[in-house]
Structure 1
Amino acid sequence: MNALLKAKSAYSAAKAPTRTAKNFEYEVIARVTRRLIAAAQKGRNGFTELAAALNDNRKLWSIFSADLASKGNPLPDELKLSLFELAEFTRQHTSQVLQRKADVRPLVEINTAIMRGLRGGAS
């Protein structure tokens, strides 16, 4: 590799975007949401995949709840309360979906709304 290529390579790595916490949260939610959608589209044949994606989504919302409850969380109390309520709804609705008594769409819609919020407020 000549000096010019080395310089370009070094510069390219340095200008790579820095991942913020919001970017990371967005990516994780997007990944789980894509899995929920893909599994749901398979119908009955995708139930095992759907159950795994639902489990990961529930874990994700549990992590969000723990973060919301931490003393260092800077979000306004009203927003925290709303997010806690969404987390509780997600927990309960997930159980309903796993029992085949409810549709996964509300969970996808919640995640999508959160992703929009993260994208709109991402720095």
Structure 2
Amino acid sequence: MQHQGALAYQQTARQTAGPRDLEANLLTRMAMNLQKVRDNWGESTPGELTDILNRNRRVWSFFIAAVTDEKSPLPVPVRENVANLGIFIMSQTFEIMANPKPEMLDSLININRQIAAGLRGSNSAAA
């Protein structure tokens, strides 16, 4: 019964959260998943690394598409910065896939945390 309550809460939270909150939560979740792989580097499988890198890449593909859309309401400098970060994320992702090292995940983790904090209007990236 408690599980159904949790599901109901999640659905309500999704319905009442604004787009920025949803994006921040998604980036935070990606950062946490990347951190988990980094923390368990010797125990994680290559498939787990590839999976989380691909999921993070898809999230950033969405952001890139959103900010490069002519109809984006964001100011041009913000759009350019997000697009540039997205390009870096893509490049770093492929570099990690080609030559996996745990410390290479740090930049992806930090960027996701920083952007999530910014979306929440926070000066801190502690999430």
Q: Which interval holds the TM-score relative to the shorter structure?
A: 0.7 to 0.9
Q: Is the 8 A contact 2:31 2:110 kept in 1?
A: no
Distance 2:66 2:58 in 1: 12
> Shift of residue 98 of structure 1?
1.1
- Letter of the 1:120 partner, please give it: G
Say yes or no: does 1:70 pair with 2:69.
yes
Amino acid in the other structure paired with 1:93? Q
The 1-side partners of 2:34 and 2:106 are apart by 9
- Residues 6-45 of structure 1 mapped to structure 2, 5 A cutoff: 18-45=16-43
Paired residue for 2:114?
113
Aligned residue in 1 for 2:90? 91
Q: Rg larger in 1 or in 2?
A: 1
Which TM-score applies when normalising by structure 1? 0.79
5+ long unaligned stretches in structure 1: 1-12
Q: Which amino acid aligns with 1:104?
A: L
- Gap runs ≥5 in structure 2: 1-8, 123-127
Partner of 2:3: none
One-letter code aligned to 1:87:
G
SS in 1 for 2:30: helix
**Displacement after TM superposition at 1:100 (Å):** 2.2
RMSD of equivalent CA atoms: 1.8
Aligned residues: 107
Query: 4+ runs of 1 displaced by more than 2 Å?
Result: none
Q: Please tell me whether the aligned partners of residues 33 and 52 of structure 2 are also in contact (alpha carbons under 8 angstroms).
A: yes
Q: What TM-score comes out, normalization by structure 2 length? A: 0.77
Equivalent pairs: percent with the same residue?
Answer: 26
